[in-house]
């Protein structure tokens, strides 16, 4: 049995298979996930698990070189954007439209769906390399 880190086997498997610049999304419970993209559904009830808790856990395991965030997040849910900035630290943040973010989901290895019910609490993490 795994002792530390992410215990969810689907998330562990996706992260282990990721290469440089591959995408992994973390989403609120309302974000439409395109057909054909792996859905890792963690949503249990309203706000469980939270977007931020899920982001923190994934950042412990995944080397990230860039994140994509919707411009609407900054305008509509600025506290979420501030949380993202705090958690990603010096990682490059690229702001794109929410519509483009939804298009970019098609290129992600997976989308982790949380129970979050805050508007625009979504992010795409672009994998970096550890060397």
Rounded CA gap, 9 and 2, in Å? Answer: 10
Rounded CA gap, 5 and 53, in Å? Answer: 13
98 is in an annotated binding site: yes
Of residues 9, 17, 20, 39, which has the active-site annotation? 20
User: What size, in residues, is the chain?
Assistant: 131
121 is in an annotated binding site: yes
Give the residue from 21, 3, 10, 23 showing the smallest Cα distance to 107: 23
- Alpha helix stretches (DSSP H) within the chain: 9-17, 51-61, 71-76, 78-88, 98-104
122 is in an annotated binding site: yes
Indicate if 20 belongs to the active site.
yes
Q: Catalytic site residues?
A: 20
Please enumerate, by residue number, every residue annotated as part of a binding site: 28, 98, 120-122
Binding residues for substrate: 28, 98, 120-122
């Amino acid at each position: 049995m795994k002792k530390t880190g992410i215990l969810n086997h689907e998330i562990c498997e996706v992260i282990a298979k990721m290469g440089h610049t591959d995408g992994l999304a973390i989403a609120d419970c309302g974000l439409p996930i395109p057909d054909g993209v792996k859905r890792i559904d963690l949503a249990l009830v309203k706000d469980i698990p939270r977007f931020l808790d899920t982001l923190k856990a994934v950042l412990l395991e995944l080397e990230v070189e860039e994140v994509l965030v919707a411009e609407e997040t900054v305008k509509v849910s600025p506290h979420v954007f501030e949380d993202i900035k705090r958690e990603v630290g010096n990682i490059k943040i690229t702001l794109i439209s929410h519509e483009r973010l939804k298009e970019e989901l098609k290129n992600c290895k997976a989308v982790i769906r949380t129970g979050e019910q805050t508007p625009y609490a979504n992010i795409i993490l672009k994998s970096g390399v550890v060397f």
